[in-house]
Amino acid sequence: MAYPVAPLALAAALAWALPGGECAQEVSTVPVRLEPAVVFKAGVDVVTLTAAVRDGRGRVVRNLRRADFEVLDRGIARDISGFHAGDAPISLAVLLDISGSMAVGGNIDRARSAVSVATSMLNSTDDEAALFTFDAKLQEVVSFTNDVDAVRHVSLEGQPWGITSLYDAIEAAARHVAERANRHRALLVITDGVDTGSSLSAPEVSGIASSIDVPVYVLAVVTPLDHPGGELAVPAAEGVTADIGTLADLSRWTGGEMKVASVPTHVVEAIRDLFAELRYQYLITFDSGEAPGWHPLEVRIRNDDLTVHARSGYISGPSQSD
């Protein structure tokens, strides 16, 4: 289903990119269709997945070999036909929540800061980036470009507005990331973690993102009082805790990760950690299983002290649509 573009909503979104009706650069803000998960049934014959590995202290592990990995497809070990490791340029889409809930407790200011930190870590000569915003719908503010300054220089001033179609926006933005040629690619979602209007569920979105090998990293910006386990935290409302837990699952299933930030140092640490993981990844290729449909994956390291981040599955069989 496509979400209609209400004139007031479009005006509010444009105000973010073009404060005062003008900006030093021309930015096109284009409504993006949000489709239900049932129309996406892509099959593959050869599966390529990216994997990041960390040690017990959370540090990115480099220089592992093909023999260190084991891939289980529906519980069956697959022969790894292709393997590559190393640093590489990245394709990063930043998805910023500008819905009404972000106005609470200064969360929108934390989110703007996070966008600034993320874009400052991009390499202007090799990386590419895109910027999306969302409330009830997804807006493409800056399309993927190697001119990362085009993303850095967008003004993010404006008043948060509208309901939050978080899961729908993640699904639609992930499709854009999947079109990029760089294998080191990801979607960074900056949000307060509250969804009030999506037609898709977190498991549906994670299945789609996993099947197209797009890791979803979530930075949940919250107040110090709402930061689980934080020094100033108070018992959180049940709904907020549930939303954050669901997002953490979504991230993990796609091979990404979720971090919670309530102060500037959290933001810097979380995004620096994301870039360390994206820069150095392992690319693993193997033949898909013959049985059509969803294939759950498990990527293991023979060293039990190490942890792998990789997508949770893929879809086998010929591409088809309803």
Domain residue ranges in the chain = 44-322
Judge contact between 40 and 214, C-beta under 8 A.
no
SS (H, E, C) the chain: CCCCCCHHHHHHHHHHHCHHHCCCCCCCCEEECCCCHHHCECCECEEEEEEEEECCCCCECCCCCHHHEEEEECCEEECCCEEEEEECCCEEEEEEECCHHHHHHHHHHHHHHHHHHHHHCCCCCCCEEEEEEECCCEEEEEEEECCCHHHHCCCCCCCCCCCCCHHHHHHHHHHHHHCCCCCCEEEEEEECCCCCCCCCCHHHHHHHHHHCCCCEEEEEECCHHHCCCCCCCCCCCHHHHHHHHHHHHHHHHHCCCEEEECCHHHHHHHHHHHHHHHHEEEEEEEECCCCCEEEEEEEEECCCCCEEEECCEEEECCCECC
Comparing CA positions, the residue from 251, 181, 193, 177 lying closest to residue 227 is 193
Residue 261's pLDDT is what?
A: 87
User: pLDDT per residue over 149-202, tens digit each?
Assistant: 999 989 888 888 889 999 999 999 999 999 999 989 999 999 988 888 999 999
- For residue 133, the model assigns a pLDDT of 96
The parts of the chain modelled with pLDDT lower than 70 are: 1-44, 225-243, 318-322
Q: What is the pLDDT of residue 228?
A: 61
Q: How confident is the model at residue 142, as a pLDDT?
A: 96
- pLDDT score recorded for residue 223: 81
Q: Which CATH class is domain 44-322?
A: alpha beta
Q: How far is CA 310 from CA 100, 181, 294, in A?
A: 33, 18, 16
- d(Cα 50, Cα 191) in Å, to the nearest integer? 25
Cα–Cα dist 69/285, whole Å: 12
Taking the C-alpha atoms of residue 154 and residue 16, their distance in angstroms, rounded to an integer, is 8
End-to-end CA distance of the chain: 13
Tell me what percent of the residues of the chain surpass a pLDDT of 70: 79
| Backbone phi and psi for residue 147, each to the nearest 5 degrees, phi listed first | -85, 80
Q: What is the pLDDT, as a whole number, of residue 48?
A: 92
Angle separating helix axes 264-279 and 107-120, nearest 10 degrees: 40
Q: So what's the pLDDT on residue 229?
A: 56
Confidence (pLDDT) at 231: 53
pLDDT at 25: 35
pLDDT for position 216: 96
By the 8 A CB rule, do 69 and 303 touch? no
